[in-house]
């Protein structure tokens, strides 16, 4: 069995799933980033498929970029929170890695979910 990577984005300012938020995944190799995929969250605040499915899942360092500023449609420039980067490592190739994001225009938090 091989692992996979998922996310779930919740808009805590409005108490709803963050539907329509763009999410980019990068693989970190040495000092550079390699773009892997861009996805958009669905009505439940999740992507329709794993961000990193089993065939592509590999040990390494990764970065998720959540496009929060565009999602909230903030008019201030620059926005307090715009793109939210979360760097993390995958060390167990057989595990499910879940990176949820709880977000508002002025704060966010994350954790390793299940």
* Cβ atoms within 10 Å of 32's Cβ, excluding its own: 8
User: Is 113 within the bounds of a domain?
Assistant: no
User: Is 17 within the bounds of a domain?
Assistant: yes
User: Is 114 within the bounds of a domain?
Assistant: no
Assess contact for 7 and 98: CB atoms under 8 A. yes
d(CA 73, CA 105): 9
> Is 111 part of any known ligand binding site?
yes
**pLDDT of amino acid 86:** 98
User: Is 111 within the bounds of a domain?
Assistant: no
Mean pLDDT, rounded, for 28-48: 96
The residue range of the domain holding 24 is 4-105
User: Is 110 within the bounds of a domain?
Assistant: no
Is omega for the bond preceding 83 within 30 degrees of 0, making it cis? no
Q: How confident is the model at residue 29 (pLDDT cuts 50, 70, 90)?
A: very high
For residue range 92-114, list pLDDT tens digits in order: 989 999 999 999 999 999 999 98
To the nearest whole percent, how much of the chain has pLDDT over 90?
A: 83
pLDDT over threshold 90, residue 1: no
- Residue 11 maps to which CATH number? 2.60.40.180
Assess contact for 21 and 13: CB atoms under 8 A. no
User: Is 112 within the bounds of a domain?
Assistant: no
Q: Please give the order of strands across the beta sheet that includes 83-90.
A: 32-40, 22-29, 60-67, 83-90
User: Is 68 within the bounds of a domain?
Assistant: yes
**pLDDT of amino acid 74:** 83
User: Is 53 within the bounds of a domain?
Assistant: yes
d(CA 87, CA 90): 10
> Is 62 part of any known ligand binding site?
no
C-alpha R_g of the chain: 14
Task: Tell me phi and psi for residue 91, to 5 degrees.
Answer: -115, -15
> Is 46 part of any known ligand binding site?
yes
Number of folded domains that form the chain: 1
């Amino acid at each position: 069995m091989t692992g996979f990577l998922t996310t779930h984005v919740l808009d805590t300012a409005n108490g709803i799933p963050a539907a329509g938020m763009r999410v980019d995944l990068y693989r970190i190799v040495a000092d550079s980033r390699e773009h892997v995929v861009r996805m958009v969250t669905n009505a439940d605040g999740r992507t329709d498929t794993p961000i990193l499915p089993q065939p592509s899942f590999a040990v390494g360092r990764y970065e998720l970029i959540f496009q929060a500023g565009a999602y909230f449609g903030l008019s201030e420039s620059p926005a307090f929170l715009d793109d939210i980067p979360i760097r993390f490592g995958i060390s167990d190739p057989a595990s499910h890695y879940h990176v949820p994001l709880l977000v508002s225009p002025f704060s966010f938090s994350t954790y390793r979910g299940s």
